[in-house]
Amino acid sequence: MGKARAIGVGMDNSANSKSALRWAVDNLIDAEDCLILIYVQSPKSEHPKKQLFEDTGSPLVPLEEFRDINLSKQYGLNPDPEVLDILDTVARSKGAKVVAKVYWGDPREKLCDAVDDLKLDCLVLGSRGLGVLRRILLGSVSNYVMVHASCPVTVVKGTPATKP
């Protein structure tokens, strides 16, 4: 057994971020690793904890507290039952520690900040599957993070977006 690692997963409860979470659980997480869900909320949100933790992000929220709907809503989160099921399973079956952290701001910058703040060994992100033109016009969070993060980044490709 190697040393315990800190593995981050960028989450927004979309199908693509759930795929990234499943991939990380199936392929990376070992006993005693720490799985950190990283949520980035809009800088315009007005949740009670934002004013207190806007610059540094929330404290690490243990899985037991993350399940508490009242606590999660203070951070602007709505715990997804499918995500909670995945997290419960990995905590129970692999013995991994599971925590969440919330940031407010631009997801590109905040995910890179999280890598450094949390001293992540790796980061897993979902991809929206944008085409080349849409990626150029809208920008790609995953591409930005891959280029700027100081740890290895795995992008789990989603299904291609349908054309408008």
pLDDT tens digits, residue range 78-115?
Answer: 889 999 999 999 999 999 999 999 998 899 999 999 99
2-30: average pLDDT: 92
Please report whether residue 164 resides in a domain. no
Alpha carbon 44 to its chain's center:
19
Please report whether residue 105 resides in a domain. yes
Check which CATH number belongs to the domain holding 141 and give it: 3.40.50.620
Please report whether residue 162 resides in a domain. no
Residue 102: closest CA among 145, 54, 63: 54
Please report whether residue 36 resides in a domain. yes
Bridging pattern class, strands 34-41 and 122-127: unpaired
| pLDDT tens digits for range 37-86 | 999 987 776 666 666 677 788 889 999 988 887 777 777 788 899 999 99
Kindly report the pTM of this predicted structure: 0.86
Q: Distance between the two ends of the chain, CA-based, in angstroms?
A: 49
Domains: count for the chain: 1
**Domain of 84, in residue numbers:** 6-157
Bridging pattern class, strands 61-62 and 34-41: unpaired
At residue 134, the pLDDT reads: 46
Please report whether residue 32 resides in a domain. yes
CA distance 75 to 164: 32
Please report whether residue 50 resides in a domain. yes
Lowest mean pLDDT among 8-12, 33-37, 75-79: 75-79
